[in-house]
Amino acid sequence: MEKYLSTLVLVENPHEQNREQNTKLGVISHIDQLTGAVLVSFGDLTVSGHGAGEVKVLKDRNTLYKELLLSAGEMEMQTFKVLLRVNMLQERGSSTSLLEAMQLLRKNPDALTHATVSLSVLIGFSEQREREKPERNGR
């Protein structure tokens, strides 16, 4: 869990119509392992809570590259170009490059889908766990 703190993430707001405005760029500040709640800090100095499934993390560069090679023929050329650029920015490894990569993904929904994974997958949190209540003894 702790390795994801301060990780750059994208959080989608399904209520916003404008794609670029509904995807906000932030940094993970806290993860509650029991509930899957994630606190994300944004550039406008706001902090909000989200479910782990709503928080999108950039895939590992090697994983993204392999997926890019395997599915290149099946995706649109613009999506391929964005993903290739994102992967090249990941290779640089600087925080500025990662920020630029995330900004590119905000503008291309298809690339965002291919290049990110939900935090719930990474931390092994199941949405079902949230619904399960611990049983209590009747006393």
Query: How many residues are present in the chain?
Result: 139
Q: What is the CATH number of the domain that holds 40?
A: 2.30.30.140
pLDDT digit string, tens, across residues 56-79: 999 999 999 999 999 988 999 999
pLDDT for position 17 = 61
Over the chain (139 residues), what is each successive 10-residue block's mean pLDDT?
A: 89 66 90 91 93 94 94 92 96 93 94 94 69 39
Interior angle at CA 23, CA 18 and CA 27, nearest 5: 160
Is 133 within the bounds of a domain? no
Q: 59 lies in which domain range?
A: 2-128
Interior angle at CA 65, CA 61 and CA 70, nearest 5: 150
Kindly state the tokens that stand for 113: 């889908």
Is 137 within the bounds of a domain? no
pLDDT for position 127 = 54
Is 33 within the bounds of a domain? yes
pLDDT for position 3 = 87
Cα(139)–Cα(130) distance, integer angstroms: 24
